[in-house]
Amino acid sequence: MANRAALPAPAGAIKNTESPLDKLLESLDESLQNSCSPLRCISCGNPVTTREECFSVDGQTDFHFVNPGGYKFDIRVYRNALGCYPRGDATDEQSWFPPYRWQYALCDQCDLHIGWFYKDDNGDSFWGLITALLTNS
Ligand SMILES: [Zn+2]
């Protein structure tokens, strides 16, 4: 959490739940701190995306899911991921982000299954990439 909460509130201010402005400032802080930080495929070192492409879905950047096979995944969502590509037919079956349909996302250098590509009927899209398969070193 930001230190902002420790600042004295103006007289008469009522501590409210976090405002949209606070959230915006916090995400701005984060993207500035992390700008120009490539995230690389852990298998081949290909730059897959960058930290500043991280965004939030319903106020969340990180998700924990269990697929129908019982495998657990920690994923983070990114607006763009230029170093991977979608493969397979888009499906809404067991989608973690309905109404978005998903395809597998593979590293475009080594074809590692690195996450999923999500797209809705309006053309809005994002990537959900497996945290453990990306490295910033
Ligand atoms: Zn790779």
CATH of the domain at 70: 2.170.150.20
Radius of gyration of the chain (CA): 17
* Full domain range(s) for residue 85: 40-135
Task: Please indicate, yes or no, if residue 14 is contained in any of the structural domains.
Answer: no
Task: Please indicate, yes or no, if residue 22 is contained in any of the structural domains.
Answer: no
Ligand 1 center to residue 77 CA distance, Å?
A: 18
Task: Indicate yes or no: pTM above 0.85.
Answer: no
Task: Please indicate, yes or no, if residue 17 is contained in any of the structural domains.
Answer: no
Ligand 1 center to residue 95 CA distance, Å?
A: 24
Task: Identify the band that residue 11 occupies on the pLDDT scale cut at 50, 70 and 90.
Answer: low
Domain count of the fold of the chain: 1
Q: Which residues contact 103 (CB under 8 A, 6 or more apart)?
A: 86, 87, 88, 89, 90, 91, 116, 117, 119
- Give the tens place of pLDDT for each residue, 15-55: 556 788 887 777 766 655 555 789 999 999 999 999 999 99
Task: Please indicate, yes or no, if residue 49 is contained in any of the structural domains.
Answer: yes
Which has the minimum average pLDDT: 3-17, 28-42, 68-82?
Answer: 3-17
Task: Please indicate, yes or no, if residue 12 is contained in any of the structural domains.
Answer: no
Ligand 1 center to residue 47 CA distance, Å?
A: 8
Ligand 1 center to residue 29 CA distance, Å?
A: 29
Task: Please indicate, yes or no, if residue 11 is contained in any of the structural domains.
Answer: no
Residue ranges of alpha helices (H) inside 7-137 are: 20-33
Q: What 8-state DSSP symbol labels residue 88?
A: E
Mean pLDDT of 66-70: 90
Mean per-residue pLDDT over the chain, rounded? 87
Task: Please indicate, yes or no, if residue 110 is contained in any of the structural domains.
Answer: yes
Q: Which residues contact 8 (CB under 8 A, 6 or more apart)?
A: none
Ligand 1 center to residue 65 CA distance, Å?
A: 22
What is d(CA 87, CA 5) in angstroms, rounded to the nearest whole number?
44
Q: Answer for the pair 100, 117: CB distance below 8 angstroms, yes or no.
A: no
Task: Please indicate, yes or no, if residue 29 is contained in any of the structural domains.
Answer: no
Q: Measure Cα distances from 56 to 12, 18, 52, 120, 126 in Å.
A: 32, 16, 11, 16, 10
